[in-house]
Amino acid sequence: MVQELRSSRNALQLGTAIALTLSIELASVSPAAAQSLTDRFKSLFGGKSDEPAEPKPAPTPGQPADDDLDCPQVTVRAGASTYAVGAGGKPAVGNEIRFQASITKMARECSRSSAGITARIGIQGRVIAGPAGAPASVEVPLRIAVVQGGVGEKVIASKAYRTTVEMTEGGSVPFTFVAEDMTYPVPAPAAADSYIFYVGFDPQALSPEPKARKKK
């Protein structure tokens, strides 16, 4: 009987600890912040980034159809889905990790003009503090590329970006970044279905740009 009471008491204490941990994690991201993040992402992409696409109306006679061939699928480049930084320049392993960022969601939207195709690429992710402790703000390096897939991939356009994430005491912060200026030529109809948008983390994006040489 005494052993059963002790087991029940231990289970109750464990359940209380788990509930307390969950409440702390949920409190680390305020409802207002989470709501504004979702609203911003959906407003940029018409609320369809995580919902089934609605049927598109038939194109007006004489105008080109604005189908998915004009807006390639977006995916994370293999090996570039996470970005971790270690303390004092050390490898980001175990207790030396200061923070780690990951990509959780993507969306894209394309528009065609006489100059080519302009794409807006949206990226949602999260930065989590590591055992070594994250700084007050974190610079996240990103790269977006338009690639023609196939036997030998061909990079059509590629741009590096940076976004700053303000960390909180909770140590787990979501972020949203939208690239508005990805442009590339309209592909030939035979090649359009092999185009793809690649996104990922690129530490080289944090390197300072080389200074232009002065003319003598």
* Best CA proximity match to 93, nearest among 102, 84, 101: 84
pLDDT for residue 201: 97
Q: What is the DSSP string of 112-156?
A: EETTEEEEEEEEEEEEEE-TT---SEEEEEEEEEEEE-SSS-EEE
Which tens digit of pLDDT belongs to each residue from 135-191? 999 999 999 999 998 888 999 999 999 999 999 888 999 999 999 989 999 999 889
d(CA 128, CA 100): 5
pLDDT of residue 129 exceeding 80, the answer is yes
What single DSSP character describes residue 193? T
Which tens digit of pLDDT belongs to each residue from 39-63? 555 655 555 433 333 333 444 444 4
Task: Number of helices (H) and strands (E) in the chain: give both, helices first.
Answer: 3, 8
Which tens digit of pLDDT belongs to each residue from 1-44? 544 444 444 444 433 333 333 333 333 334 444 444 455 556 55
Question: Domains of the chain: which residue ranges?
Answer: 30-49+68-206
Residues for the chain: how many in total? Answer: 216
Chain Cα centroid distance, residue 134: 19
CB 146 within 8 A of CB 114: no
* Best CA proximity match to 71, nearest among 17, 118, 103, 115: 118
Class of domain 30-49+68-206: mainly beta
H runs (alpha helix) in the chain: 2-28, 31-44, 189-192
Which tens digit of pLDDT belongs to each residue from 91-107? 898 999 999 999 999 99
What's the pTM value of the predicted model, to 2 decimals?
Answer: 0.67
Calculate mean pLDDT across residues 118-137: 94
